[in-house]
Amino acid sequence: MYALETRRLSFLPILLPHALIQRPGHPPTLQIYSPKILPLRQAQKQFPGRIRKLLLRSSAPFQLRIGQRLLITSDHRVVSSKDRSIPRLKIRAGPAFGSGEHATTQLCLRYLTQLLLDHPKSGPTVLDLGCGSGILALASAKFGAHTLGWDLDPTAIQEAQRNAKVNRLTSRVLFQIKDALRAPLPKADLIVANLYDSLLLHLLPRLEKHRKAGTRLVLSGILQGQENTILRTSRKLGWKLQRRGRIGRWYCLQFQS
């Protein structure tokens, strides 16, 4: 998969899958995706930007194991016979964030699957804010949860719906184009939000009724140096830290009320 990345957002009809990436404090970026580089070279003539090679999936199928609990794979054919008994999700490297390769996603998967295994209620409800490819929502559904996944980006929602079909989980999960910082948030037993830390700081005050109702919270996408700000804000709002994990420079925090 290749991506053309540009900051020039002038309107042009784009027939290829694309996503607009908005990050507070950064100029918006448009990414256009294609399995072949030629269509992107043509698009580049219209959009001044730089071609960034992402990953060539065909030569390197991706696989991630979360203990014995879950296996994420881009290709079922590469799963070894000893891993075949592990519950499995097939997630392709598509145009949405959330193939499972990023540390922020891996930390969420660890916490989420453990929380769901230990959950006293059968079929708990999970809210995945910033669902991207749907990986976290689908992992939750695989563990018996009824899940709602929200994302601002229509391309991400399309990809998440596609992944729900591929994994035969459409009856347990619903994906919607919604802004997690504006739309009224439904009740949930568990909320997971792998968003940037500045977005998490806006989200936290919106979760008061969830805290009072005993919702568990997993926050990810927190860069080293920002974790204390998130911890201070969440403590002020009455959340208690249960687990804190880190891969490289990325932190993930799990809270209870």
Ligand X SMILES: C[S@@+](CC[C@H](N)C(=O)[O-])C[C@H]1O[C@@H](n2cnc3c(N)ncnc32)[C@H](O)[C@@H]1O
- Binding interface with ligand X (CB under 6 A): 96-98, 104-105, 108, 129-132, 135-136, 150-153, 156, 179-181, 194-195, 199, 221
79 vs 152, beta carbon nearer ligand X: 152
State the minimum distance, in angstroms, from the CB of residue 223 to ligand X: 12
Encoded amino acid at 246, one letter: R
CB-nearer residue toward ligand X: 105 or 254:
105
Q: Which of 187, 89, 188 is nearest to 138 (CA)?
A: 89
CB 38, min distance to ligand X, A: 27
Find the shortest distance in angstroms from Cβ 116 to ligand X.
15
β-strand pairing of 29-34 with 146-151:
unpaired
Toward ligand X, which CB reaches closer, 46 or 147? 147
In whole angstroms, how close is the CB of 81 to ligand X at the nearest point?
Answer: 28
DSSP letter at 189?
Answer: S
- Measured from the CB atom, the residue of 29 and 44 that comes closer to ligand X is 29
First to last CA, the chain: 42
CA distance 20 to 184: 23
The torsion region of residue 232 among left (phi > 0), alpha (psi -120 to 50) and beta comes to alpha
Q: Least distance (Å) from ligand X to the CB of residue 22?
A: 7
137 within 8 A of 147, measured Cβ to Cβ: yes
Closer to ligand X by CB, 28 or 238: give it.
28
